[in-house]
Chain A
Amino acid sequence: MKNIGKGIYVYLALVIFAPLLFQDDYYLSLLVITGIYAIVAIGLSIVMGLTGQISIGQAAFWGIGAYTSAVLTTKYEISPFLALIAAAIIPAVFAFILARAIAGLSGYYLAMATLAFGYIIQILISEWESVTGGATGMIGIPSIDFFGESELGMYYLVWGVVTVVLLFSLNLVESRVGRAFRAIHKSEIAATSMGIDVRKYRLLAFVVGGLFAGLSGGLYAHYVGTLDPQPFGFHESIVFITIVVIGGMTNIWGALVGTFVIEMIRAGLTSLSDTFPALSGDVDTIVYGAILVLIIMFMPEGLVPKIQSMVQSYKHRRSTATVVVQKNKERETAR
């Protein structure tokens, strides 16, 4: 815990007191959706940032989680909280199997395998009509009763989960496992020769990523109340990648910041399209595409690491400046 830094206190204060500032249900719902996306993004940043792998199929785990929870609560009338646990475990099992299968792949092969997995899951969701309702989807998924079925209750539940996931991930980064992750990212060969079981850690990253995505999917299903296969495909997987890339792949906080940036853009575009109907197409993808291109070309490290290094160089400049001033004073007194 001690390695996480002071940022966590600022974060906690913001999370606890944000509903006081945004009492309107619209803003609360934006924050809930932001939290739901942030959970997936944190998981993906472990896969992409820490072990240097790529998953262009993260929306599939999200979808498996959402449908698991939805089916269990509507068809078998299991309590949403138990269903959420299943929604986390089942995608993690899928992630384990997928990661075991593609353990030998990297680079473009890994990208293709995860892309293919994403398509397969989305197609299976739309085709398995008896369970998932096919293309028409499911309705009437019960909402979660977390101190009352309110927007505020959902807000605290979702951000509670975000906080747990965040603390877990920040601790993971600073642990032995996190050091192994970073060693793998720098050089797999060097890591292997130091006795790090590369396959095991890459597998672990995938499973954690799948678990978080599934949990978030379950929350999404209960929050929205209806499901159809459309959001669980390529487009959303790219949105998750955009989030992680904006914030900075190598930084867990980056996932959180990236989610805020993307959700603000999305909300902005939605309200703009009310006044300019021409913006209603897939115009959001223009923005995401431009962001991806600009970030990779001009700021490949992402927002959070960039800001951190700027703050550090500012501090450094200030401290050297004070040292110079002090030395000048000393010289004058010596005279």
Chain B
Amino acid sequence: MTELLQYIVNGLVSGGIYAIVAAGFITIYNVSKVINMTQGEFLMLGGMFTVTFIGAGIPYFVSIILAVLLVILIGAVMQKFIIGQAKTNNPISLIILTIGLSIFIKGIASFFWGKDPYALEPITSNDPINIAGISIAQQSLWVILTVIVILIGLWYLTEKTLLGKKINACSVNQQAARLMGISPAKMMMLAFAVSAGMGAIAGIVIAPLNVTSYDVGTLLGVKGFAAVILGGVGNPLGAIIAGFALGLIESLSAGYISSGLKDAIAFMVLIVVLLVKPTGIFSERSVGKGGL
């Protein structure tokens, strides 16, 4: 029983990160109809910048803030000068474009930081806490807390503020939004900035649980994308639930079947779900054609 609880806790921690990545995908997708495959690289950049700033002697929390701001800037610049300029709305071209950007960022990162892994100090001490026989790393609690704060913050932003209403307006009907004096271009840039910021924070809080290196972003990004597909493209709640589900599937299969096969099992579940329901579990706004 404690074993099972332990796996569930582990699953919720990684699932929370997938949920944030997935929420980032959806935030961008709903406004600009782009599946942004660089989402995972935002996490990598967040972690690596923080490590670098701390290495330069900047205090821990200042480093984190600087890293997040820098990644937000990168996200916004990327949207304004590259993705926003592409004159195509074909999902395959867009996916190739953002994959290109993502391996470009990864290559630059390997050039600057090399291939060695880096360690980041946890927010509080390294000693795990014991609750009812389950040992939880203190950092895991910080991860869960961060996930909750980010997701609530995102919900508040999109549902309760005027800015969120503007973003929603653009995702429903860009033409009409423009007539109401909202600039879709600005909202798209904002969506990229928000996603980049969320990704960077997620990347920073999980870095201490493991090591971080130039290539951690790819798999995290793919898992987040998998959560988006599993939940149904364009459906934020579905994607978040799917993110947690994916984390649980992985941690349970790592515990009970084989840790080497955990990713393969998670991806097999994804394919099986697509066989049964080609538009994800919670379906979506527009069907089939990649949502376009």
Sorting the interface of chain A by its residue count into under 10, 10 to 19, 20 to 34 or 35 or more gives 35 or more
Tell me if B105 is interfacial: C-beta within 8 Å of chain A: yes
Q: A102-B274, A291-B100 are in contact. Are A297 and B260 (CB under 8 A)?
A: no
Smallest CB gap from B91: residue in A = A107
Report which of A107, A242, A284, A288 forms a contact with B92, defined as CB distance below 8 A: A107
Report which of B114, B115, B274, B279 forms a contact with A113, defined as CB distance below 8 A: B274
> Chain B 90-107, CB within 8 Å of chain A: the 1/0 string?
011101110111111111
B38 CB to closest chain A CB (Å) equals 10
B92–A112 contact, CB under 8 A? no
A116–B86 contact, CB under 8 A? no
> Chain B 245-264, CB within 8 Å of chain A: the 1/0 string?
00000000000001011011
A116–B271 contact, CB under 8 A? yes
B171 CB to closest chain A CB (Å) equals 16
| CA of A300 to CA of B88, assembled, Å | 9
| CA of A279 to CA of B107, assembled, Å | 10
B108 to chain A: which residues have CB within 8 Å? Answer: 286
B270 to chain A: which residues have CB within 8 Å? Answer: 112-113, 116
B104–A290 contact, CB under 8 A? yes
A90 to chain B: which residues have CB within 8 Å? Answer: none
Report which of A104, A113, A116, A297 forms a contact with B97, defined as CB distance below 8 A: A297
Tell me if A289 is interfacial: C-beta within 8 Å of chain B: yes
B222–A115 contact, CB under 8 A? yes
| CA of A235 to CA of B102, assembled, Å | 12
B103–A109 contact, CB under 8 A? no
B261–A127 contact, CB under 8 A? yes
Tell me if B267 is interfacial: C-beta within 8 Å of chain A: yes
B275 to chain A: which residues have CB within 8 Å? Answer: 101-102
A108–B229 contact, CB under 8 A? yes
Report which of B99, B114, B290 forms a contact with A108, defined as CB distance below 8 A: B290
Q: Chain B: how many interface residues by the 8 Å CB criterion?
A: 52
B175 to chain A: which residues have CB within 8 Å? Answer: none
- List A73-92 residues whose CB lies under 8 Å from chain B: none
| CA of A173 to CA of B226, assembled, Å | 34
Tell me if A320 is interfacial: C-beta within 8 Å of chain B: no
| CA of A245 to CA of B103, assembled, Å | 15
A281–B260 contact, CB under 8 A? no
B97–A108 contact, CB under 8 A? no
| CA of A193 to CA of B225, assembled, Å | 33
| CA of A292 to CA of B83, assembled, Å | 12
Smallest CB gap from A123: residue in B = B264
A111–B92 contact, CB under 8 A? yes
A108–B263 contact, CB under 8 A? no
B291 to chain A: which residues have CB within 8 Å? Answer: 107-108
Q: A281-B110, A281-B115 are in contact. Are A102 and B271 (CB under 8 A)?
A: yes
B267–A119 contact, CB under 8 A? yes
A289–B105 contact, CB under 8 A? yes
Tell me if B233 is interfacial: C-beta within 8 Å of chain A: yes
Tell me if A106 is interfacial: C-beta within 8 Å of chain B: yes
B290–A106 contact, CB under 8 A? yes
A107 to chain B: which residues have CB within 8 Å? Answer: 91-92, 288-292
B39 to chain A: which residues have CB within 8 Å? Answer: none
A111–B222 contact, CB under 8 A? no
B99–A119 contact, CB under 8 A? no
Tell me if B124 is interfacial: C-beta within 8 Å of chain A: no
Tell me if A285 is interfacial: C-beta within 8 Å of chain B: yes
- List B194-245 residues whose CB lies under 8 Å from chain A: 214-215, 218, 222, 225-226, 229, 233
Q: A105-B274, A123-B261 are in contact. Are A282 and B93 (CB under 8 A)?
A: no
Tell me if A241 is interfacial: C-beta within 8 Å of chain B: yes
A108–B95 contact, CB under 8 A? yes
B229–A281 contact, CB under 8 A? no
A286 to chain B: which residues have CB within 8 Å? Answer: 103-104, 107-108, 111
Tell me if B130 is interfacial: C-beta within 8 Å of chain A: no
A288 CB to closest chain B CB (Å) equals 6
B22 to chain A: which residues have CB within 8 Å? Answer: none
Among B97, B263, B289, which residue has the most Cβ atoms of chain A within 10 A? B97
B107–A281 contact, CB under 8 A? yes
| CA of A115 to CA of B229, assembled, Å | 12
B195 CB to closest chain A CB (Å) equals 16
Tell me if B125 is interfacial: C-beta within 8 Å of chain A: no
Taking Cβ atoms with an 8 Å cutoff, the residues of A that contact B are 48, 52-54, 56, 101-102, 104-113, 115-117, 119-120, 123-124, 126-127, 234-235, 238, 241-242, 245, 278, 281-293, 296-297, 300
A-B contact pairs, 13 of them (CB 8 A): A101-B271, A106-B290, A107-B288, A107-B292, A111-B91, A112-B270, A115-B225, A127-B261, A234-B222, A245-B96, A281-B214, A283-B110, A288-B107
Known: A111-B95, A241-B96, A296-B86. 15 other contacts (CB 8 A): A108-B95, A110-B290, A111-B91, A116-B226, A119-B263, A127-B264, A242-B100, A245-B96, A281-B115, A289-B100, A289-B107, A292-B99, A292-B104, A296-B93, A296-B96
Taking Cβ atoms with an 8 Å cutoff, the residues of B that contact A are 35, 82, 85-88, 91-93, 95-97, 99-108, 110-111, 114-115, 214-215, 218, 222, 225-226, 229, 233, 258, 260-261, 263-264, 267-268, 270-271, 274-275, 278-279, 288-292
- The 3 closest A-B CB pairs, nearest first, are A107-B290, A292-B100, A289-B104
